[in-house]
């Protein structure tokens, strides 16, 4: 089996593949202070909980935007399973033609997500990643990545608002009944939920205007389902698209 790992600033997501069959997903918090031994204990514990035979994992691939975690996690995976890991980065074949000024700076999670979308939706498409940051990417019909936009993530924006506004308290991420709200809690919800939806709709319009192409729009990330249902554009939610992309990248590079 193949173990895929998507290391984000907030969470680490692990996915198991038996061939092309996605069999299991595990999620835990990203901690830059953890050692490889501590990661190994977590991995071993999760495998025990979900009754996963560590010895059945013969290979691994990691996409990471947190360098401090990449190699401790790689070492932990090898300790627990014996499998060596590919690291998504320069020199690895992805099938994605990256046409930006500095291709080596493109986040591994965006590469993997776009590869997964290329395999499933072909192109052109707009890909929205909703994590610690909100990243919006454009890939054409030839699987060429042309760039995109990055905005503060929903959680960061809400934290900044409530931490710096003395009379503003944090709220749960739930859309109010109407945009013009009559109490502080719903006013914040309106700004965060509907404001984010308007930003996404507006950016999609601008991408389509600049490319002059009708695009499939895909979103991934923990907050994506809450946000896209308030958008006017039709947006497909793909929870595991980054892990799927890692599976495809592994298959292109395995000996």
Rounded to 5°, the CA angle 137-22-173 comes to 50
Residues 6 or more apart in contact with residue 101 via CB below 8 angstroms: none
Residues 6 or more apart in contact with residue 69 via CB below 8 angstroms: 7, 12, 30, 31, 32, 34
Q: How far is the CA of 183 from the CAs of 50, 171, 176, 192, in angstroms? A: 44, 12, 10, 14
* Residue 109 is a catalytic residue: yes
Q: In whole angstroms, give the CA distance from residue 195 to residue 247.
A: 35
Write down the catalytic residue from 109, 122, 140, 172: 109
Q: In whole angstroms, give the CA distance from residue 23 to residue 181.
A: 44
Please give the structure tokens belonging to residue 248: 């495809």
Catalytic residues: 109
């Amino acid at each position: 089996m193949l173990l895929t790992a998507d290391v984000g600033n907030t969470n680490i997501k692990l996915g198991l593949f038996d061939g092309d069959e996605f069999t299991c997903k595990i999620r835990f918090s990203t901690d830059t202070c953890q050692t490889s031994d501590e990661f190994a204990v977590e991995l071993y514990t999760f495998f025990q909980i979900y009754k996963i035979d560590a010895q059945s994992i013969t290979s691994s691939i990691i996409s990471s935007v947190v360098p401090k975690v990449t190699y401790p996690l790689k070492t932990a995976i090898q300790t627990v399973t014996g499998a060596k890991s590919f690291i998504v980065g320069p020199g690895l074949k992805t099938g994605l033609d990256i046409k930006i000024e500095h291709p080596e700076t493109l986040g591994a999670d965006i590469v993997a997500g776009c590869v997964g979308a290329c395999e499933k939706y072909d192109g052109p498409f707009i890909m929205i990643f909703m994590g610690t940051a909100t990243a919006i990417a454009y890939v054409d019909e030839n699987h060429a990545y042309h760039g995109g936009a990055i905005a503060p993530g929903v959680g960061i924006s809400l934290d900044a608002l409530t931490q710096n506004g003395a009379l503003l308290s944090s709220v749960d991420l739930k859309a109010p009944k109407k945009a013009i709200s009559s109490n502080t809690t719903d006013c914040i919800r309106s700004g965060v939920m509907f404001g984010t939806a308007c930003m996404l709709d507006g950016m999609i319009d601008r991408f389509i205007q600049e490319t002059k192409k009708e695009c499939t729009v895909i979103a991934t990330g923990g907050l994506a389902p809450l946000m896209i249902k308030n958008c006017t554009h039709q947006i497909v939610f793909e929870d595991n698209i980054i892990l799927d992309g890692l599976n495809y990248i592994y298959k292109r590079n395995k000996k």
